[in-house]
Amino acid sequence: MRQVKIGVLGCGTAAHFHASACKYLDNIRLVSAFDVNYENAKKLADIYNLTVSRNYQDIMKNENIDAVLITLPHYLHAELTITAAEAGKHILCEKPMAPTLEECDKMIKAARKAGVKLMIAENHRFLPAHQLIKKTLESGLIGTPLLVRGYEGVDETPDLAKPEHWKGSPEKAGGGVLMDAAVHKFAILNWMLGDVHSAYCWLAKQIIKLQNKAEDNAMMLLKFENGCVGSVVVSDTVFSPPNNRLEFYGTEGTILEDHSWKKPVQIFSTSKEAGEHRYQWFSPDVEHEPFPMYYIISFRNEDAHFAECVLDGREPDFSPEEAKKAVEVALLCYLSAKTGKIVTRSDIEKVAISKGTQSIIEGLEKIYI
């Protein structure tokens, strides 16, 4: 059987999502787990029948392992991706690609040099509901998109409230909820609407008051190169099940999406192309189930795609360059929050040349209203 064998680096929440999703797949198998916290590796290994590696070098040297799954705090993504590439392993690395653009570039370069596949695990790109929205936009059913709204809300307060936990730490996570959650939205909005032109952003610290933690809520206003404008709101302090929403308002119709709906996408179109559905809401069939199943569905599709790319020598549909662009939008928003100004992508380029993009995330814990 053609199968990609995976070594898991980091055995927390995301590793468990991947492991439960991979149970449904024949072309990928998690074989070994490493975590700096042995108990976490052991727990994943016991549930999913993996071996435990005592250090990451054992995974890198293991000739039975084709690829690594990096489910580690954000500051480790670049280092482990580069090490894995140099060891000849293909890489599936969780989002965000890395907290700085320079690290993203190094990851891309290392993978290209080694001739291995690098895919950032952006599960939102592989959610059937999002793929349906992309097709609907391309079909012209809602005309030209003029306005978009995106939302993600989760409860991360248990980890954020721990002073030593990496979540929310600018140093280890590259920021708070914006770097963690809004990159999902940026990755899919770039894919659906094209590049962001400029951004304005507010960061708030409403529940997590720890001095070393960054924002727990964020609101961003975006203008896209194609003229569409919109808002993205993300929260780590939502005390109800996790949820995501997208709304697109176009010259000929509307798309509403909500992950908590059984049929997650509703479309209203005034276009003749809508046929019998013209002038009424309709919800096309799409594979979906409310939380937590939409995680498993999107992770399953994502992991299956990564394995196909490795086995068939294809480049991933979600390229590392696109993942870098999502990080760039996050940095655009952080730069706006820091300066209190509307920021364009050329402003980021100037910072990258003068001080490096690390300078944007430094001191984020002090920037909030």
Which residue ranges make up the site for ligand NAD (CB under 6 A)?
A: 10-15, 35-37, 40, 71-74, 76, 94-95, 123, 180
Q: How far is the CB of 364 from ligand NAD (least distance, A)?
A: 16
Q: Please identify which residue in the block is written with the tokens 């795609």.
A: 305
Q: Which is nearer to ligand NAD, 281 or 291 (CB)?
A: 291
Q: Which is nearer to ligand NAD, 15 or 148 (CB)?
A: 15
Q: Which is nearer to ligand NAD, 242 or 253 (CB)?
A: 242
Q: Which is nearer to ligand NAD, 4 or 11 (CB)?
A: 11
Q: How far is the CB of 330 from ligand NAD (least distance, A)?
A: 12
Q: How far is the CB of 85 from ligand NAD (least distance, A)?
A: 17
Torsion over CA: 170, 98, 297, 53 (sign): negative
Q: How far is the CB of 15 from ligand NAD (least distance, A)?
A: 6
Q: How far is the CB of 129 from ligand NAD (least distance, A)?
A: 14
Closest by CA position to 108, among listed 301, 311, 329, 325: 325
Count CA atoms closer than 13 A to 70's CA, side-chain side. 30
100 Cβ partners below 8 Å, 6+ apart?
A: 174, 327, 331, 356, 357, 358, 361
H helices within the chain, ranges in order? 13-22, 38-48, 56-61, 77-86, 101-114, 128-139, 157-160, 170-173, 177, 183-193, 293-312, 320-339, 345-354, 358-361
CA distance 259 to 18: 19
Q: Which is nearer to ligand NAD, 95 or 205 (CB)?
A: 95
Q: Which is nearer to ligand NAD, 12 or 140 (CB)?
A: 12
Q: Which is nearer to ligand NAD, 152 or 347 (CB)?
A: 152
Q: Distance between the two ends of the chain, CA-based, in angstroms? A: 55
CA distance 308 to 312: 6
Backbone angles phi, psi at 205, to 5 degrees: -120, 95
Q: Which residues pair with 68 in a beta bridge?
A: 7, 91
Q: How far is the CB of 216 from ligand NAD (least distance, A)?
A: 15
Q: How far is the CB of 335 from ligand NAD (least distance, A)?
A: 21
Q: How far is the CB of 116 from ligand NAD (least distance, A)?
A: 19
Closest by CA position to 339, among listed 305, 317, 364: 364
Q: Which residue number places its CB atom closest to ligand NAD? A: 12
Give Cα separations from 305 to 152, 296, 314, 317 (angstroms): 24, 14, 10, 8
CA 328 to centroid of chain Cα atoms = 13
Q: Which is nearer to ligand NAD, 12 or 143 (CB)?
A: 12
Q: Which is nearer to ligand NAD, 156 or 365 (CB)?
A: 156
Q: How far is the CB of 236 from ligand NAD (least distance, A)?
A: 12
DSSP, residue by residue, 34-55: E-SSHHHHHHHHHHHT-EE-SS
What three-state secondary structure class fits 362? coil
